[in-house]
Structure formats: structure tokens, C-alpha cells
Amino acid sequence: MTIWHLHLLNSRNTLTLVMSEIRAAVRDAVTKANEHADVPSFDLVVRSGGNVIPEWGVGGMAPLPGVIQIDLNPDRFSAELFTRTLIHEFHHLIRWDGPGYGKSLGDALVSEGLAGHFVQQVLGGKPDPWDSVQPAPGLARRAMNEWARLDYDHARWFFGKGDLRKWAGYGLGYRLVAEHLAQNAGQDAATLANTRSEPFRNSLRRLIGADGAQETDEAEAQETAEPEEASLDLATPEPEVTDGKDAPVPEATAEPKDEQTDGENGEEQQPGGA
């Protein structure tokens, strides 16, 4: 049985108009997730503003065992996106009671990749935008080199703060778990929730090999095309024109803040119940 305590930070009445929708979405998310895994009991803190993903108007984190924080924009509240965010965080909750989120880059890649696949397992549909990011060539090799680092820069790898594309770590983690699932029939994000990150390292090696093969194919294609391009240049020389695009500006991330909570306590949900 999953027991949750809902804390709506509503002293300024910013959540009043969506409180009933929030309660219904939480019940729905718990019911659906419990059909695939045993969601541990938790405290859920919901507040207006904070670390909201602009594209969705909602953002979440599971900073501690048994604790989820959801930040949202009440004017853009979507029960569907709220539920998807909560399902993602449920997998982090389950993992907290096992090996934990982890402290190294490899741990974070696996934890986020599994959470993304858990959303797919429970709700289906297309992967979430961050999970759909295509890793840049060479990113898998860079991750292998930094796999065990405890001082990795989380904002750089996952939020685009620095030289990496926004959400690059989410995209790589999702692809890493997909590769592992392809090689291990019968497993899924729920059954792997308590698996440590090290077994996924072989899947990262396969991704590196695939990246290398792709680079080789591209190089061979370019070599094949060069003689033809050279003859065209001799016949009709034209100035080369280049066209580029500015890199996206990385978004800053907000650190979680301690909040004084007061709200509803003691809601219960049977596994798989209505």
C-alpha cells in the first residue's frame, strides 16, 4: 500500500484554482505506477513557481528518500504533464530505497535513463523532450572517461550549463538504458530499479562502438564524393558560402530550497486500485 502526504504550499492562494486537479492527478499517477512497480510511501510538496521547465510549466525532483517536490505554473497546469513528471519521480523514489540516485556521472546517467523509460513503460506515448535529445558524436566516449567521477558537473551534463547541449545527459542516459534493454530480454525499467550502474557500462561501450562505425561510414562517404566535387570546382569555380547557427543559450538551474509545508496528510492508495 502506498501512503502519501500531499503538502500544497498555498498561503498566497496561488494553487487554489488547481488544487482539485492536483489531487486527482496524484491519485491517477499512483494507481498507474503501482500496476508496474511498488511505489514507496512519500511526501509530495507542490508549490507555485520555482524550478519550472518552461516548455511544460512544471518541474520535479526527488531530493531525498520518500520526498518529491513539484514546482508548477498554475496558469499552465496540465494534468497530463503533471502526471508524467510525477511518474518520472516515482522511479527515483524506488531507486532511493535501493542503490540510491548515485554520486557519479555513471550513476546519474543510469538513474535518469531508467526514470525516462519508466514513464514510457507506465504511460506510453513519445519519450519526453529531454529523453529525445540525440547525443552528439563523441559524447558516449566522453561519458565513459568520466563515468566514475564524483566531481562531475551535473548542470553541465543535464541542463546545458557549459559546453554540452541542453539535456544531453538525459538523452544519453535514455539511449544507454535502451541499449541495455535491447541486450537483456525480459527486463524493464521497473525490474532494473534496484540495479547498480556498473552493469550498464557494457552498453555504453556498445554505443561508443556504434558512434565509431557511424563516423567511419561518414568519412568514407566524404572521400567518395571528393573527386566529383573537385571536378565540378575545376569546371565552374564558385565561391564557398557558409551558413551557421548560434548555439542555444543554456538555461540556469535553480537549487532546491527548504520550504515550510502544511497541507493534507494521510491519503491512501491501494496498489493498482481506483
CATH of the domain at 56: 3.30.160
Same domain, 122 and 198: yes
- Confidence band, pLDDT 50/70/90 cuts, at residue 235: very low
Q: Would you say residue 7 lies in a domain? A: yes
pLDDT of residue 214: 54
Same domain, 69 and 135: no
**Percent residues over pLDDT 70 in the chain:** 77
pLDDT of residue 210: 87
Same domain, 226 and 163: yes
Same domain, 52 and 146: no
pLDDT in tens, 46-96: 999 989 999 999 999 999 999 999 999 999 999 999 999 999 999 999 999
> Rounded distance, CA 87 to CA 98, Å?
17
Mean pLDDT of the chain: 84
Provide the greatest CA pair distance for the chain: 80
Same domain, 193 and 126: yes
Lowest mean pLDDT among 172-186, 211-225, 237-251: 237-251
pLDDT at 220 over 60: no
Which residues are bridge partners to 58 per DSSP?
Answer: 53, 72
Q: Would you say residue 152 lies in a domain? A: yes
pLDDT of residue 213: 55
Same domain, 85 and 180: no
Same domain, 93 and 132: no
Q: Would you say residue 83 lies in a domain? A: yes
Same domain, 77 and 173: no
Same domain, 7 and 69: yes
Contact 110, 197 (CB under 8 A): yes
- Confidence band, pLDDT 50/70/90 cuts, at residue 229: very low
Check residue 102 and report its DSSP letter.
Answer: -
pLDDT of residue 117: 98
pLDDT of residue 252: 41
Check residue 53 and report its DSSP letter.
Answer: B
pLDDT in tens, 243-258: 444 434 334 444 444 4
Q: Report residue 22: phi and psi, to 5°.
A: -65, -45
Domain that holds residue 211: 102-236
Question: How many domains, in total, are found in the chain?
Answer: 2
Mean pLDDT of 92-113: 98
Same domain, 114 and 219: yes
pLDDT at 263 over 90: no
CA-CA-CA-CA dihedral for 77, 114, 274, 10, to nearest 10: -30
pLDDT of residue 211: 83
pLDDT at 150 over 50: yes
Which residues are bridge partners to 70 per DSSP?
Answer: 46, 60
Q: Would you say residue 88 lies in a domain? A: yes
**pLDDT, greater one: 211 or 263:** 211
pLDDT at 11 over 60: yes
Same domain, 26 and 117: no
Q: Would you say residue 114 lies in a domain? A: yes
Same domain, 62 and 141: no
